[in-house]
Amino acid sequence: MPQGPSSTLEIPETGLIPKHIAIIMDGNGRWARNRFMPRMAGHQQGVETVRGVIKACIERNVAYLTLFAFSSENWRRPAEEISFLMQLFTGALEQEITKLHENGIRFKVIGDISKFEPKIIEFIQSGEQLTAQNTRLTFTIAANYGGRWDIMQAMRKMMAQSSEVPLNFEEENLAQYLSLSYAPEPDLFIRTGGECRISNFLLWQLAYTELYFTNTLWPDFNEHELELAIQSYQQRERRFGRTSEQLQMALSAEG
């Protein structure tokens, strides 16, 4: 079952530090182009940024970090770039899983991994198994992932549990089959690179997530940039359908 309530069914607990941060890592290619470097150099630098963001999240007691690495639509990119991304993904898995485990980080991958090469699938499965009991941070990579795919695969799994198509199912019946069902809904969504859209990422889970867009390109997204995003989050009123007056009354009651 999902770790935490559905924001459309009940009001979740919130705090000054987001429990779950989800990020679209955009701008690797432009970062490289601005430096007269091949796009691949931007992707390589982006991996270094991931390491820094993981460290910064742990220092701030963020419990879940989900990164959008490769969408189901990214297969439309040039074959040469896709090949490089797969090599980079394989290398990162091979090099980083042990380090994640040593630092108490649980590693997860969401998405349709069946399209990946057997070696990548093996690294993913072994990495998830190795780190399954870690609790310091749950680090999730969305790879060959799409929000619509996620909802569709959840629907198929739910229907497969019954010999007949369920006619009167509720939200919680479907939610348990979503790829990210082990995590609470994201508190904070960040997209780097200046684009202001969610690009088929976590369509179900972002229902009441606070959205933050920055012009900073992903390779330049550092601890300071993360802190700016969290500061913006801390200035939001998370009403979940209520009025500001209701929110203030609830906060006063808690105090």
Q: Say if residues 68 and 25 touch (Cβ distance below 8 Å).
A: yes
More confident residue, 130 or 40: 130
CA distance 211 to 190: 6
Per-residue pLDDT at 75:
80
Which tokens in the block code for residue 172?
């919680």
- To the nearest 10 degrees (0 to 180), the angle between helices 39-59 and 79-102 is 30
Q: Which of 106, 203, 222 is nearest to 146 (CA)?
A: 203
- DSSP-derived 3-state class of residue 214: coil
CA atoms within 13 A on the CB side of 252: 6
- 78, 153, 12, 236 alpha-carbon torsion, rounded to 10°: 20
Q: Which of 6, 64, 59, 21 is nearest to 233 (CA)?
A: 21
Exposure string (b/e) for 38-65, b if CB count within 10 Å is 16 or more? Answer: ebbbbbbbbbebbeebbebbbeeebbbb
pLDDT above 70 as % of the chain: 92
Tell the burial category of 105 from Cβ atoms under 10 Å away from its Cβ (0-12, 13-18, 19+).
buried
Give the global pTM: 0.91
What is the separation of C-alpha 239 from the centre of its chain, rounded to a whole number of angstroms?
Answer: 23
pLDDT at 2 over 60: no
Which tokens in the block code for residue 180?
């990210």
Say which residue the tokens 């955009």 belong to: 26
Q: Say if residues 72 and 64 touch (Cβ distance below 8 Å).
A: no
Which tokens in the block code for residue 190?
């960040």
CA distance 203 to 199: 9
Confidence of residue 1 (pLDDT cuts 50, 70, 90): very low
Catalytic residue ranges: 26, 74
CA distance 187 to 15: 9
Q: Residue 93: in which H helix or E strand, if any? A: helix 79-102
Query: Beta strand 105-110 with 137-145: parallel, antiparallel or unpaired?
Result: parallel
pLDDT in tens, 121-172: 999 999 999 999 999 999 999 999 999 999 999 999 998 887 666 677 888 8
pLDDT in tens, 82-121: 888 888 888 889 889 999 999 999 999 999 999 889 999 9
Per-residue pLDDT at 247:
59
Per-residue pLDDT at 134:
98
- Residue 212 forms beta bridges with which residues? 190
Tell the burial category of 179 from Cβ atoms under 10 Å away from its Cβ (0-12, 13-18, 19+).
buried
